[in-house]
Amino acid sequence: MGSKNKLKRFKENETFSNLFQPSRETLLTDQFEMKGRWHADYFKNNNPIVLELGCGKGEYTLALSERYPDKNFIGIDIKGARIWRGAKTALQEQRHNVAFIRMQIELIENVFASGEVSEIWITFPDPQIKYKRTKHRLTNQDFLHRYKNILIENGLIHLKTDSEFLHGYTIGLLQGLGYEILMAHHDIYVNTEAPKEVVEVQTFYEKQFLKQGKAITYLKFRLK
């Protein structure tokens, strides 16, 4: 994508009523006005809030919001040119149960209050295979602790990835920490027991991975 197109999208992002772009300083000083107020001030209902982390163009956020109109969905990504697509589509289609946040995921506790989130989807994150990149894996122990702090009791986390490494790493970590694994599929298109929303919703990257013959894995777990 050319720099002119990116700049155009960044400018348009500023006009989207469903896209929040808090500064890092705002988040670090715990001044983000929506924290603890998502139900009352944005969605204006008490329906469960579901997050998609690393949402990219928001494919899962949008697809799930259509399937589950009785839930609220928020896509989170740091890439403004990508999140533009999801936010724009949601506005065009008048999806009132959808929002997006452009931010770094490690600051998630500064955006949501304790127990404000019901479910989290992590879709095709960078597996960060090198050992020195462990701290950046979205399912490492520190990130799991952050998620636990914002989830309701028995809140669910879904991990969908093409990385067998990340799939196995996460299973081992969850077992070691004593967390509850509800589903673990090593190839969702071979195992027909995978939930419909896992096999019927395909992101841009997932389609690329399938063309390369990669297996797509899925985990569902609780941080009890």
* CATH number where 121 lies: 3.40.50.150
At 149 the three-state DSSP class reads helix
**Per-residue pLDDT, 4:** 79
**Per-residue pLDDT, 24:** 95
126 as an active site residue: the answer is yes
* Pairwise CA distance, residues 122 & 152, whole Å: 17
Catalytic residue among 41, 126, 142, 187: 126
Cα-Cα-Cα-Cα torsion 96, 222, 144, 41, nearest 10 degrees, comes to 20
Closest of 126, 148, 124, 144 to residue 208, by C-alpha? 124
Number of domains in the chain: 1
Provide the domain limits for residue 189: 3-222
pLDDT per residue, tens digit, the chain (224 aa), is: 667 789 999 999 999 999 999 999 999 999 999 999 999 999 999 999 999 999 999 999 999 999 999 999 999 999 999 999 999 999 999 999 999 999 999 999 999 999 999 999 999 999 999 999 999 999 999 999 999 999 999 999 999 999 999 999 999 999 999 999 999 999 999 967 889 999 999 988 899 999 999 999 999 999 98
**Per-residue pLDDT, 3:** 74
